[in-house]
């Protein structure tokens, strides 16, 4: 039996988290029509989307934060409403990016309606809209925004899937994810993917976050996911969320920060070249 890890990480990591934190702190969209950059997280039920938003907030606040509620028991999406999360800079106001959580995708008729996600991408879904699996948002609904501004639109789409579930994603969920990807492509919205819960999928990653990009198993999952949904490997990131911890650590932070910086860079490119 060969080793389950590479001797060196297959993706180099920034040495200094402070550099990325400084970049995020000073970031402003390069488009005068947008005062923030909007990131939408999408994925199957239980992917860890809400926990990922909590983890991003934890890194930025330097302590474990729980704002987006999660549920490990029901097997159904715990997120029912469309919600925008802002991130506080204390007395300096807020960071110039926001994250949106959306109801998880389920098989058959459960979970978020694909057409509702397309409306969200275009900015037609107002905060607190409650998703209904059997019924999509209509123009007559009070939560339908008829004239979205650039601020309301999604500037980067991030597909979130647990690293250990890549091989067992149902055909139905894959089809739905693919439909949204194609719709986002039509709108020129940049797309990234995050494989979460790497600590549950790989004992070496659980043992030490430094092993995340050394794990042969996790690299295989990235490659499988790339083939499954057509993401290029350099647009797929591995992340361990803060879910059981009561304090943060630099190595876990580094993976979250690296993925977040790429979201910002891709979204900013979209905003910058929108009027080309």
pLDDT, tens digit, for every residue of 82-92?
999 999 998 99
pLDDT(226) > 80: yes
pLDDT(276) > 80: no
With respect to residue 4, please indicate whether it lies within any of the assigned structural domains. Answer: no
With respect to residue 86, please indicate whether it lies within any of the assigned structural domains. Answer: yes
Specify the pLDDT at position 69. Answer: 56
**Pick from 100-109, 180-189, 215-224: least confident:** 100-109
pLDDT(118) > 80: yes
With respect to residue 11, please indicate whether it lies within any of the assigned structural domains. Answer: no
With respect to residue 241, please indicate whether it lies within any of the assigned structural domains. Answer: yes
CATH number, residue 153: 3.40.50.300
CA distances from 1 to 5, 143, 215, 216 (A): 12, 57, 15, 13
What mean pLDDT value characterizes the chain? 91
With respect to residue 12, please indicate whether it lies within any of the assigned structural domains. Answer: no
The arithmetic mean of pLDDT across residues 239-249, rounded, is 91
The arithmetic mean of pLDDT across residues 41-53, rounded, is 91
**Pick from 29-38, 98-107, 237-246: least confident:** 98-107
Specify the pLDDT at position 1. Answer: 47
Q: How confident is the model at residue 100 (pLDDT cuts 50, 70, 90)?
A: very high
Nearest-angstrom CA–CA distance, 45 and 155: 23
pLDDT(203) > 80: yes
Specify the pLDDT at position 166. Answer: 96
Output the CA torsion 29→179→53→139 (10° steps). Answer: 80
Q: How confident is the model at residue 75 (pLDDT cuts 50, 70, 90)?
A: very low
Q: What total number of domains does the chain contain?
A: 1
Q: Which domain holds residue 246?
A: 17-274
State the SS3 of the chain. Answer: CCCCECCCCCCCCCCCHHHHHHHHHHCCCCCCCCCCEEEEEECECCCCHHHHHHHHHHHHHCCCCCCCCCCCCCCCCCCCECEEECCECHHHCECCEEEEECCCECCCCCECCHHHHHHHHHCCECCCCECECCECCCCCCCCECCCCCCCCCCCEEEEEEEHHHHHHCCHHHHHHHHHHHHHHHHCCCCEEEEEECHHHHCHHHHHCHHHCCCEHHHHHHHHHHHHHHCCCHHHEEECCCCCCCCCCCHHHHHHHHHHHHHHHHHHHHHHHCCCC
With respect to residue 7, please indicate whether it lies within any of the assigned structural domains. Answer: no
Q: How confident is the model at residue 68 (pLDDT cuts 50, 70, 90)?
A: low
With respect to residue 5, please indicate whether it lies within any of the assigned structural domains. Answer: no
With respect to residue 2, please indicate whether it lies within any of the assigned structural domains. Answer: no
């Amino acid at each position: 039996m060969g080793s389950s890890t590479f001797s060196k990480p297959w993706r180099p990591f920034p040495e200094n988290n402070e550099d990325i934190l400084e970049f995020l702190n000073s970031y402003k969209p390069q488009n005068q029509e947008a005062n923030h950059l909007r990131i939408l997280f999408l994925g199957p039920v239980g992917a860890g989307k809400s926990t990922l938003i909590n983890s991003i907030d934890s890194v930025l606040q330097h302590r474990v934060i729980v704002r987006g509620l999660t549920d490990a028991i029901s097997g159904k999406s715990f997120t029912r409403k469309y919600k925008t999360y802002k991130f506080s800079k204390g007395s300096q106001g807020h960071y110039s990016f926001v994250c949106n959580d959306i109801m998880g995708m389920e098989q058959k008729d459960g979970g978020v309606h694909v057409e509702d996600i397309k409306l969200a991408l275009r900015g037609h879904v107002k905060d607190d809209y409650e998703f209904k699996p059997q019924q999509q948002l209509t123009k007559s609904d009070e939560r339908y925004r008829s004239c979205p501004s650039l601020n309301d639109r999604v500037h980067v789409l991030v597909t979130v899937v647990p690293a250990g579930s890549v091989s067992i994603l149902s055909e139905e969920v894959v089809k739905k994810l693919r439909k949204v990807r194609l719709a986002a492509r039509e709108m020129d919205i940049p797309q990234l993917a995050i494989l979460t819960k790497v600590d549950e999928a790989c004992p070496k990653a659980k043992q030490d976050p430094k092993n995340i990009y050394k794990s042969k198993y996790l690299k295989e999952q990235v490659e499988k996911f790339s083939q499954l949904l057509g993401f290029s490997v350099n647009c797929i990131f591995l992340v361990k969320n803060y879910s059981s911890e009561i304090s943060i650590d630099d190595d876990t932070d580094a993976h979250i920060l690296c993925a977040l910086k790429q979201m910002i860079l891709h979204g900013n490119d979209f905003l910058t070249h929108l009027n080309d």
